[in-house]
Amino acid sequence: MQTKALLVGALMLSAAFSGCLQDEQTPPLPGPPSLPDGIFMTGSDGLSLSLDLHQPLPLSFVFSDVGEDGAEPSIGITSSGCMFFTAFEKVMRSCDHGESWEHMNSIFQHPSTSDPWLWVDPVTDRVFDVQMVGLLTTWIAWSDDDGVNWLGNPHDSGPIPLNDHIKLGTGPWTDDGYGIPGQMDPIYEQAVYFCYNKGAGIFCYTSFDGGASFEVGGMVFGLATENGGLHGAITTAPDGTVYVTPRVETPTIVFSKDNGLTWVERTMGEDVGTPNPRKNSEVATDSESNAYHIWVGSDFGIYMSRSEDSGQTWEQESTRVSPIEVISTTFPHIDAGDPGRIAITYLGSENASELGLPDIDDVAWNGNPHYATGNVSYYLYITYSLNALDPDPVFHTVRVSPDPVQIGSICLNSGDCRTIGESSNRNLLDFNDLHIDLEGRAYVAFADGCTGSCATDNNSTPEDSRDRRGSVYFLGSGPSLYETAGLLIEFE
């Protein structure tokens, strides 16, 4: 009590003499240090961390315009350093770090495609071009010389020739199931997996000959809930575990440890759930086969659950990856290098917290991109963490695109999302992509919906944002996701 009385007395005495000190201006105290606009450093709750305790990573990114439309882009990098990007029916290649792009003619020659997918096997350098003609036929082509020459076959999806949402990936052979030596005698170094959606659910098949044929497999996940038969990318771990992510209300993964012979289901993330409509989640695995599952939560932030036992058990308390300032997100994608070292990308908006949802009983907009109003702007974000397995991981996020990649809503349904009197807003389709090269450098493929005058005009509207330009950002300089590679510098 005495100390408090002395303090109050000192303040009163100071006030009494304040008139004598009016000519002496006390300089304002400096505020706490802050990060530049568009740079965030956050913890597992999405809240900013103190610059007194943490320092942001030195991240810079390089942009490249592919020169073709690519509304469902996927990307891969061969050991030669060539980037491959799928721009609908065209396979585009850049071997000069994005300075120029050329169309590499695959064996698949068709004027249009319903679903494109591209995959580069990181072990063999085989480039896969997967194209779906209508909903009836899928062509799988491959090249072993950086896209110069191609072979390929159509895929027969059975007596009901209906397939959709095609995906392909590769991974190690295991010692169980299909991988047992002598049982099927694989003639290709890696197992090749092909998954697609039919009306009943998700079907996945395994190839023993490098993707030329797929003789074994079947349904791995049924149409349990709305859109449950749709799925995300195929991910494999160094120990041979292969993951597929169904599009369901409770974040879920299915995985196989015997090269697709049997599949197991795990759920997580009930504390944050998912929105509806929703897009696919994704899994990444690191060099020690730890797994990281990311998805969009019901509050439209990006969340993550981790598994340190190769998919058997998952955290049930979700970790928020995106900053709380980013209040609406979609299209999350992830890749990993060494344990705890991950890169994530997504589209997000920071400018819509007070907007209303028109024509629906004046209900406030909740952040769902599907219903975003015309003054919402979406940008491309990239998030890094070098300690993602720690109890308190740190996430370093950069708003990479200097101008919006979409104005207004992003359609999250597979059909036409136009409203009465408006043109269709389904220009960005289903996904973007992120992969790292053998150096641990991250590459992001995305479709830019707001180009030209849309990007430069401060009064752009959703009607101006209907492009789907194939675009790439990759790490110019910053830490590799492989620890021994250290700090990567820009290409010369």
N-term to C-term CA, the chain:
68
Strand boundaries in 43-136, DSSP class E: 60-69, 75-77, 83-87, 90-94, 102-104, 115-120, 127-133
Task: Provide CB contacts within 8 A for 427, sequence distance 6+.
Answer: 71, 406, 411, 447, 449, 465, 466, 467, 468
Beta bridge partners of 435: 443
Q: In whole angstroms, how far apart are CA 380 and each of 38, 61, 76, 349? A: 11, 12, 19, 9
Chain segment 241-267, per-residue pLDDT in tens: 999 999 999 999 999 999 999 999 999
Distance CA 219, CA 235 (A): 17
According to the model, what pLDDT value does residue 3 have? 38
Torsion of CA 329, 243, 120, 232, to 10 degrees: -40
According to the model, what pLDDT value does residue 157 have? 56
Cis peptide before 277 (omega within 30 of 0): yes
Record the pTM: 0.90
Phi and psi angles of residue 330, each rounded to the nearest 5 degrees, phi first: -160, 170
Cβ proximity of 475 and 107 under 8 Å: no
Distance CA 215, CA 191 (A): 12
Mean pLDDT of 173-189: 78
CA-based nearest residue to 232, from 290, 279, 199, 194: 279
Helix (H) or strand (E) holding 137: strand 137-143
Beta bridge partners of 288: none
Chain segment 425-476, per-residue pLDDT in tens: 789 989 999 999 999 999 999 999 999 999 999 889 999 999 999 999 999 9
Beta bridge partners of 355: none
Mean pLDDT of 104-124: 84
Q: How big is the chain by its Cα radius of gyration, in Å?
A: 25
According to the model, what pLDDT value does residue 200 have? 78
How many helices (H) does the chain have, and how many strands (E)?
2, 31
According to the model, what pLDDT value does residue 222 have? 83
Query: Minimum mean pLDDT among 19-28, 127-136, 202-211: which range?
Result: 19-28
Structure tokens given for 173? 């052979």
Q: Which residue has the higher pLDDT, 145 or 459?
A: 145
Mean pLDDT of 338-352: 93
The residue written with tokens 């706490």 in the block is 32
Examine the pLDDT at 354 and tell me if it is beyond 50.
no
According to the model, what pLDDT value does residue 5 have? 36
Chain segment 126-139, per-residue pLDDT in tens: 999 999 876 677 88
Mean pLDDT of 133-148: 87
Distance CA 67, CA 100 (A): 9
